[in-house]
Amino acid sequence: MDKLIIRGNVPLRGEVRISGAKNSALPIIAATLLTSAPVRISNIPHLHDVTTIISLLGQMGVSITLDERFNIQVNANNVNCFDAPYELVKTMRASILVLGPLLGRFGQANVSLPGGCAIGTRPVDQHLKGLRAMGATIDVENGYIKATAKNGLQGANIAMDIVTVTGTENIMMAAVLANGQTVIHNAAREPEIEDLAKFLNALGAKITGAGTSIIVIDGVKELTEGSYQVLPDRIETGTYLIAAAITRGKIKLKNTRPDIVESILVKLAETGAYIETGDDWILLDMKDNRPRAVDVSTAPYPAFPTDMQAQMMALNTIAEGTSIITETIFENRFMHVQELQRMGAQISLKGNTAICTGIDQLQGAPTMATDLRASASLVLAGLTAVGETSIDRIYHIDRGYECIEEKLTQLGARIHRMPHKNN
Ligand code: EPU
């Protein structure tokens, strides 16, 4: 397995371009199953998870072509298989996103039930509950979700018991071609949901309220062709902002959107960072100051994102003061703690709360990535630590950060990838 090697303690300086959002690109690519007309999508990030969803659609008979800038042209006019096999779903849970579109357009889907993952058990009961309310017959047999809707789906009033991102997306996609109106109450409000709705509306869907907790979808007969540009990745944005803060550097991020990272900017301002923003850029300057410790508690958007918890903890390990970090979304999302402790961090865990006392300097150490955002926190810790940090199982980071070592090198970091054969 490839490793990342970082020689830290260098302030990062310069400009970096933010990629398209992984968690927008995945549902948007899945949603192309809803139309037989050609669709063009730009600002797709070059990531392992994106390749996985492209392979999944390819196996179903969807034709997908990529140009050299990773724009994709999709044509789902010849879908001949409605299966998402275990072999693919086990490598990426977001494969569940094909369930809603397959059921909505073809009235059938056979999708492997995603198992738990490193960060939690992550059931999909709310997805199934919503689809059943729309008239789908769903059986879970031999590890597969077998769903049918012989006479098509019917619009329904659906109250989600839990705020779920992909659950909201699956139901929204299923409802686009249903008979009549669907209303999703207690919908997730993440910007990626609004992005998916804008994409679907660009193809002729009738969705209002995306980005609020009540989404109304009026079913249409069919979707047409169209083109769409994926929104910038807010978690990549937040991660690079912390890279600047943790190294006491100064970075300008381009091709991003400050309005979708407000909860992160507020916290970074509390650390003492100087922040300036424009329509599509953000500048963060620590003016060589040590960051102050900040408390964070994760919650659904617009609150502080769980996908930034590990990175914020890395920042707190070297901040001035003590912080309390509370994780409310996933039950096991503290696996980075043990690795950060191996670099000298002072963190104690009590249930879903971590108490972190900032120290002057982390020490480089061999570490192991356990999931995507945990691996990002180890990269950040390595960037500030004295000496060499190695991060094993780096495939986790390739799922969600495009060209991370190239981008960090451009900002002055001393980082390189050690391919498996040289380990
Ligand atoms: N949940 C249920 N039942 C359901 C669905 C969810 O109990 O039917 C629970 C989950 O177990 C969790 C909570 O509800 O405790 C929220 O989970 P959610 O469904 O919102 O998560 P997700 O849709 O599976 C997406 C992102 C995650 C991100 C979460 C939370 C995608 C592809 N994934 O996951 O991203 O952490 O929302 O914001 O959009 C990442 O990018 O690293 C990542 C893990």
pLDDT of residue 423: 60
Angstrom CA distances, 84 to 60, 113, 251, 376, stand at 8, 9, 41, 29
* CA-nearest residue, atom 10 of ligand 1: 122
**201-222 pLDDT tens trace:** 999 999 999 999 999 999 999 9
For residue 201 the two structure tokens come to 């509306």
Residues acting as catalytic residues: 117
Q: Does residue 314's CB lie within 6 angstroms of at least one atom of ligand 1?
A: no
* CA-nearest residue, atom 2 of ligand 1: 123
Q: Does residue 167's CB lie within 6 angstroms of at least one atom of ligand 1?
A: yes
pLDDT of residue 422: 63
* CA-nearest residue, atom 6 of ligand 1: 164
Atom of ligand 1 lying closest to residue 26 CA: 32
For residue 262 the two structure tokens come to 């407000």
Atom of ligand 1 lying closest to residue 166 CA: 23
Residue 416's DSSP bridge partners are: 5
Angstrom CA distances, 390 to 3, 13, 337, 413, 423, stand at 7, 22, 16, 14, 11
Q: Does residue 32's CB lie within 6 angstroms of at least one atom of ligand 1?
A: no
Residues of the chain with pLDDT under 70: 116, 421-423
Separation of alpha carbons 206 and 220, rounded Å: 7
* CA-nearest residue, atom 25 of ligand 1: 165
Ligand 1 centroid – CA 283 distance (Å) = 29
Atom of ligand 1 lying closest to residue 330 CA: 15
CA 81 to chain centre: 27
pLDDT of residue 385: 98
**Closest Cα to residue 316, out of 373, 249, 377?**
377
Q: Does residue 26's CB lie within 6 angstroms of at least one atom of ligand 1?
A: yes
pLDDT of residue 420: 78
Q: Does residue 233's CB lie within 6 angstroms of at least one atom of ligand 1?
A: no
Separation of alpha carbons 154 and 181, rounded Å: 8
**350-397 pLDDT tens trace:** 999 999 999 999 999 999 999 999 999 999 999 999 999 999 999 899
